[in-house]
Amino acid sequence: MTDIALEIENVESGYGEVQVLWGVSLKVRTGQLTTILGANGAGKTTTLRTIMHWLKPWKGRVMLDGQDVTRLSMHAKAQKGLVLVPEGRQLFSDMTVEENLQMGAYPPRTRKNVARNLDRVFTLFPRLQERKRQLAGTLSGGEQQMLAVGRGLMQEPLVLMIDELSLGLSPLLAQQLFLTLKKLKGEGITIVLVEQNVHLALALADYAYVMAEGRVRLEGPAQQVENMDEVRSAYLGL
């Protein structure tokens, strides 16, 4: 991998004829956790969807490990190790926990490692192992989020993007999931996190981008951003 695992340059996109992103640029360094913050409607989720090609970029470029992947499909990007854990989890509710995890191992490069990766996910999330025969739709919100992250890890991500990790979870469950992210970061996994819990995100992140109205308004080391009072009030609603 290069020092920059993921880079987007001057990306514009939107829904239908409505433009949401206006020249967004960001860099994600290998082995670091980069967080994207901002109020509702700032363009955070749209940024991740455009990177992944859920939304087709109108302009700009997406680079993964030094390669231009702008025009590649979601499937092709996943094959290369770009993985998105989407907002709302989007699990297969009528399939078991284990079946959902196995669905995450569809890229050919990961199929030979299914057993090893299952063991890894169950070590990270023992509760999933306890419920591996249970239907995903019957899990609690916290367990479903664990499963969504676990399914992403089954793809052996080069870059793991997570949209709203703590959404709808109790503070205790959110803290537990952030501890898991800390472990993954310690293993050297490159993570991009969109998160509504600003305090938890900045405490764990190496670098932060703050978005508003579809643009990156500022960026910097996470601790530096956390200490900017004007940023907290103007862009983060704190």
* pLDDT tens digits, 15-32: 999 999 999 999 999 999
How high is the pLDDT of residue 1?
62
Average pLDDT, rounded, for the chain: 93
| 230 or 121: which leads in pLDDT | 121
With beta carbons less than 8 A apart as the criterion, state whether 183 and 123 touch: no
Q: For residue 36, which phi and psi values (nearest 5 degrees)?
A: -115, 120
How high is the pLDDT of residue 234?
66
| 214 or 198: which leads in pLDDT | 214
How high is the pLDDT of residue 199?
87
With beta carbons less than 8 A apart as the criterion, state whether 133 and 81 touch: no
- Provide the token pair at 8: 């987007």
Least confident of 105-109, 144-148, 195-199, 233-237: 233-237
How high is the pLDDT of residue 58?
97
Q: For residue 64, which phi and psi values (nearest 5 degrees)?
A: -120, 115
How high is the pLDDT of residue 237?
65
How high is the pLDDT of residue 91?
94
- The alpha carbons of the chain give a radius of gyration, in whole angstroms, of 17
* 233 has pLDDT over 80: no
| 171 or 162: which leads in pLDDT | 162
How many Å apart are CA 4 and CA 151, to the nearest integer?
A: 24
- As beta bridge partners, residue 21 has 13
How high is the pLDDT of residue 90?
86
- Provide the token pair at 96: 């078991």
- Average pLDDT of the segment spanning 161-168: 93
With beta carbons less than 8 A apart as the criterion, state whether 35 and 195 touch: yes
| 223 or 88: which leads in pLDDT | 223
Whose structure tokens read 């025009």? 71
DSSP H helices, the chain, are 44-52, 74-79, 97-103, 108-111, 114-124, 126-130, 141-153, 171-186, 198-204, 222-226, 229-234
- As beta bridge partners, residue 150 has none
Give residue-wise pLDDT tens across range 58-100. 999 999 999 999 999 999 999 999 999 998 778 999 999 999 9
How many Å apart are CA 146 and CA 88, to the nearest integer?
A: 12
DSSP state of 22: E
SS3 label, residue 220? strand
DSSP state of 159: E
How high is the pLDDT of residue 29?
98
How high is the pLDDT of residue 46?
97
- Average pLDDT of the segment spanning 101-116: 88
Give residue-wise pLDDT tens across range 128-156. 999 999 999 999 999 999 999 999 999 99
Q: What CATH code is assigned to 1-81+160-170+191-238?
A: 3.40.50.300
With beta carbons less than 8 A apart as the criterion, state whether 91 and 100 touch: yes
With beta carbons less than 8 A apart as the criterion, state whether 57 and 99 touch: no
Task: Give the whole-number percent of the chain exceeding pLDDT 90.
Answer: 82
Per-domain residue ranges for the chain?
A: 1-81+160-170+191-238, 87-156
Question: Nearest Cα to 156, choosing from 101, 195, 194, 201?
Answer: 101
